[in-house]
A and B are shown apart, each in its own frame.
Chain A
Amino acid sequence: MPSEAGVGSREIVIEVLRYRSDTDSRPVPQRYRVPFTNDMSVLQGLQYIKDHLDGTLSFRWSCRMAICGSCGMMIDAEPKLACMTFLRDYHPGPLRIEPLTHFPIERDLVVTVGGFVKKIENIYPYLIPKTPRRLDEGEYLQTPTQLAQYESFSDCINCMLCYAACPQFGENPDFIGPGAMALLQRYNGDSRDGAQAKRMELVHTENGAWSCTAVGYCSEVCPKQVDPANAVNQNKTRSALDFFLRFLRPAHSGGAASNGDAR
């Protein structure tokens, strides 16, 4: 539905929570009147502000099409991607835009991502084959049913909306959280992977799956239908099973297949 009218046909009030660490002691709201057309996203509204009204406004963005995961922010108190949210749905405003909750604010709408990146690094985010194959032995085969077990978890774009949606992450920033757990399950659920026991050590802890209370809002806000709540909660079941089954298993074999055919 492309609009024929140019910029300026309608106007919306956008209230941005601003924080400039050199001058502000705490975040303060600032209002802008932004002309917009029907096809303009919230991200384009922010770009209009930066280009025409206030060049000091800071925010992250890149792809404009919901694949880079940079422009996550609180839009009327809901975690959303600014590029896939439209100004027309909030007319006449005021539309409140804030940085993602639960994260430290660097400046304006830019939050600190270091903690999240560290968590992703810690979960062994790569395939560790059950049985290493030589090139001449061919590829690692997988059936469509085996693929379906983890496929949605590989769609994560690291936008961190799920962390802003998670009240338990708000209470405990050390909680591994929905996004990193979805990536963990992407590998643990892969039939070709053999490092489940290693990753389950992270899942078993207080800051692993067990900080989650199954609120489920993380999956609702996910722009890619990754369903991180499913990743966290099926790991609770697994973790509980591991706890009880360890009495029956031989020592140190853990949750993964034993290396019977190691060569």
Chain B
Amino acid sequence: MNGPRSYLRRTDTLWWARRTYLAYTLREATGIAVAGYAFILLAGLISLANGERAYDVWLNFLKSPWSLALHLLFLIAMVVHVWTWFKIMPKTMPRLVIGRRIVTQNEITAAGIVVAVAAFIVILLVAECVQP
């Protein structure tokens, strides 16, 4: 549908690095950290299946300073990911109407973050209780 002499500028391939897209780029980039953490847990599961020796090796890896630094990095990335994730979540849902009032997107985001924090505390408590 272009005119005979219209001019199409090339798209900026570095668009994701611009400030306007910062929240989006952070959300997508921190997703790699989430996958990385899942990979570490999977490695633990495989070690467990391979017997006590392998499992101890994995546990020792977790205690190394490298692993602690990595986990700290993952934790920061995860917090950013959770925040940006719940920020976009209301966009993926039909309008939520309670009574005659539309539930605002900020309220949905806040509810998501509250649930995430509550789940975090519950898991932490359970982990404390089952410690040997």
CB contacts (< 8 Å) of B2 on chain A: these are 104, 112, 114
Please give the distance in Å from B95's CB to the nearest CB on chain A.
Answer: 5
Cβ contacts B1-21/A at 8 Å (1 or 0 each) = 111011111011001100011
Question: Is A149 engaged at the interface, CB distance under 8 Å to the other chain?
Answer: yes
- B1-44 contacts to A, CB under 8 A, are 1-3, 5-9, 11-12, 15-16, 20-21, 23-24, 28
CB contacts (< 8 Å) of B5 on chain A: these are 21-22
Assess the B9–A118 pair: CB atoms within 8 A.
no
Which of B7, B90, B97, B100 sits near A230, CB closer than 8 Å?
A: B90
CB contacts (< 8 Å) of B24 on chain A: these are 213-217
Assess the B100–A144 pair: CB atoms within 8 A.
yes
Question: Is A125 engaged at the interface, CB distance under 8 Å to the other chain?
Answer: no
Please give the distance in Å from B20's CB to the nearest CB on chain A.
Answer: 6
In the complex, the chain A residue whose C-beta lies closest to that of B15 is A167
Interface size on A, residues (CB 8 A): 38
Question: Is B51 engaged at the interface, CB distance under 8 Å to the other chain?
Answer: no
Interface size on B, residues (CB 8 A): 27
Known: A112-B2, A167-B16, A216-B24. A233 touches B9 (CB 8 A): no
Question: Is A41 engaged at the interface, CB distance under 8 Å to the other chain?
Answer: no
Which of A118, A145, A233 sits near B97, CB closer than 8 Å?
A: A145
Assess the A233–B92 pair: CB atoms within 8 A.
yes
Please give the distance in Å from B15's CB to the nearest CB on chain A.
Answer: 5
Assess the B93–A237 pair: CB atoms within 8 A.
yes
Known: A104-B2, A104-B3. A233 touches B11 (CB 8 A): no
Assess the B92–A104 pair: CB atoms within 8 A.
no
In the complex, the chain A residue whose C-beta lies closest to that of B93 is A234
Assess the B21–A118 pair: CB atoms within 8 A.
no
A77 to B23, CA, bound (A): 18
Assess the A227–B91 pair: CB atoms within 8 A.
yes
Question: Is A19 engaged at the interface, CB distance under 8 Å to the other chain?
Answer: yes
A230 to B95, CA, bound (A): 9
Question: Is A64 engaged at the interface, CB distance under 8 Å to the other chain?
Answer: no
